[in-house]
Chain A
Amino acid sequence: MDFWQVNVELLQGFGNTCILFFVTLALAVPLGLVVAFGSMSRFLPIRWVTRMFVWVIRGTPLMLQIFIVFYVPGLVFGVQLGSSRMAAALVAFVINYAAYFSEIYRGGIQSISQSQYEAGAVLGLNRKQVFFHVVLLQVIKRILPSMGNEVITLVKDTSLARVIGVVEILKNAEHFAQYGLIWPLFYTGLFYLVFSGLITLLFRFAEKKLDYYKG
């Protein structure tokens, strides 16, 4: 099997890697904000439940969470929630990353000084207006480096989806290794490197764009 054939095969697995990455990001970023509001809620039961949720999700391995989402409905409750392996992996990834993102958001939101809310109130803005027009942009600027970290971790975490049989690039490369072609396994590292390199550049660009605004 020549170099290009291997590349074509690996790209098929890389497609799944990309689906996992982009869909998780698209759903976990807003969901994380909801969770962040929950963990800062003044209504105690909601705050308690949300923090419990974040503790459980951050306190258990993502691999275990993937297993639970995929197998437990059938094993314990005898219900079949569709047969898509990709969907199950996505649910686990979105929940997991929303929990991590929520803590980053919370840190960002709570770093904004209380006096800005007070100033907003003096100017006659309600809490919602203060948050979206005053606070949010500063928060985005402050959390960008931490988000970059988490997003790059996500690139590599996509390889965990293989445990329930989602054939992503690493699993794809192992098919080759099984029949004596070992180099594709290590070659996949290049895909991950280029991918995370692009993300690094993207975040650097975004940080620069927001630099005009000294918060």
Chain B
Amino acid sequence: MKRWIAVLLVAIVTGLLFSSCGQKASDWAYIQQKGTLVIGYTVFEPMNYTDENGNLIGFDTELAKAVCEKLGVTPEFVEIDWENKVMELNSKRIDCAWNGMTILEELKSNIDFSVPYSENYQACVIRKEDADKYKTTADMTKARIGVEAGSAGETTVQQDENLSQAEVTSLTAQRNTLLELKAGTLDVAVLDGVMALASVGDGTDFSDLMIVPGIKLSKEEYGIGFRKDSPETVAKVNEALQELANDGTLQKLQEKYPSVMVTLKAQ
């Protein structure tokens, strides 16, 4: 009896040791062989969220499905704890982290990123008549700047060497900064790029306002995260993303989820 237990233990340990130094198949071969791409996400509108009927929808959800169709694998969505994404990838519990993920330098030593496919930034909005006066942040050191209190825009202004010198007013809502701009009590409004794009320009109530072109503060690019050293998988997905940009799928998703700023263009 006791001898059997000992034999069993030895067998288990050797088994584990052997499997650990088994053949190293490429990451893509591994995914292709099992036929599924396991996608780690968190609930995050507009990227991945559920509709009233409990179906998982969102920009990233639909994009991932489209990419998987191109690659000939089945997508499998798994909700994860976002802090554990590197561990989830390395232990092969997920094959990619796809959730409006900001491409950070600090993460590149542990994660392989796809090409950036969308972005977010803080935009500077001015009156159209000031277009020549404010072209860069260096022109705004003496301007009256409005931000929403507690917003990313406020933090951006505080950290920018030029903008922080200006007279900064914190208002209660991003929209109020645009009203004040129109009224002439502010010169520059710093707000979320998504909101700025949707609120100003021709055909809106703020048609006399404009976004200063070329200023993208606190710019973040979104990419898909893969296991480190999986160049083949990344190349396959990049290729599929480009095809989707070329055939207009990405364009359609952009129209369906207008707050996502898609950057990947057709070639």
Q: Which residues of A contact B (CB under 8 A)?
A: 43, 67, 70-80, 83, 85, 162-165, 167, 175, 178-179
Q: Identify the closest chain B residue to A77 (Cβ).
A: B20
Q: Is the CB of A74 within 8 A of B91?
A: yes
- In Å, the complex CA distance between A139 and B86 comes to 47
Near A by CB (< 8 A), chain B positions 197-231 give none
- A-B CB contact pairs (8 Å), 16 listed: A70-B93, A71-B87, A71-B93, A72-B91, A74-B90, A75-B90, A76-B20, A77-B16, A78-B92, A83-B38, A83-B93, A163-B81, A164-B81, A165-B78, A165-B81, A179-B45
Q: Which residues of B contact A (CB under 8 A)?
A: 2, 16, 19-20, 22, 38, 43, 45, 78-81, 84, 87-88, 90-93
For the complex, would chain B's binding face be called helix, strand, loop or mixed by DSSP majority?
mixed
- In Å, the complex CA distance between A78 and B78 comes to 20
Q: Is the CB of B87 within 8 A of A75?
A: yes
Closest approach, in angstroms, between the C-beta of B26 and any C-beta of chain A?
14
Q: Is the CB of A78 within 8 A of B84?
A: no
**A77: which of B19, B38, B79, B80 is its contact (CB, 8 Å)?**
B19
Q: Identify the closest chain A residue to B76 (Cβ).
A: A83
Closest approach, in angstroms, between the C-beta of A15 and any C-beta of chain B?
14
**B19: which of A43, A78, A83, A163 is its contact (CB, 8 Å)?**
A78
- In Å, the complex CA distance between A192 and B161 comes to 51
Closest approach, in angstroms, between the C-beta of B93 and any C-beta of chain A?
6
- CB neighbours of B19 from chain A (8 A): 77-79
A78/B22 contact (C-beta < 8 A), A165-B80, A178-B43 known: yes
Closest approach, in angstroms, between the C-beta of B53 and any C-beta of chain A?
12
Closest approach, in angstroms, between the C-beta of A213 and any C-beta of chain B?
36
- In Å, the complex CA distance between A76 and B13 comes to 13
Q: Identify the closest chain B residue to A75 (Cβ).
A: B91
Apart from A43-B2, A74-B93, A165-B78, what are 6 other A-B pairs with CB-CB below 8 Å? A71-B91, A75-B91, A78-B20, A78-B22, A83-B93, A165-B79
- CB neighbours of B78 from chain A (8 A): 85, 165
- In Å, the complex CA distance between A76 and B84 comes to 16
Closest approach, in angstroms, between the C-beta of A45 and any C-beta of chain B?
9
**A175: which of B2, B16, B43, B91 is its contact (CB, 8 Å)?**
B43
Closest approach, in angstroms, between the C-beta of A44 and any C-beta of chain B?
12
- In Å, the complex CA distance between A208 and B92 comes to 51
Closest approach, in angstroms, between the C-beta of B44 and any C-beta of chain A?
8
- CB neighbours of B88 from chain A (8 A): 71
- CB neighbours of A164 from chain B (8 A): 81, 84
- CB neighbours of A83 from chain B (8 A): 38, 93
Q: Identify the closest chain A residue to B17 (Cβ).
A: A77
Which 6 A-B pairs give the minimum distances between C-beta atoms?
A74-B91, A71-B91, A77-B20, A75-B91, A74-B92, A165-B80
- In Å, the complex CA distance between A162 and B20 comes to 28
**B16: which of A67, A79, A165 is its contact (CB, 8 Å)?**
A79
Q: Identify the closest chain B residue to A80 (Cβ).
A: B92
Q: Identify the closest chain A residue to B45 (Cβ).
A: A179
- In Å, the complex CA distance between A76 and B21 comes to 10
Closest approach, in angstroms, between the C-beta of B57 and any C-beta of chain A?
15
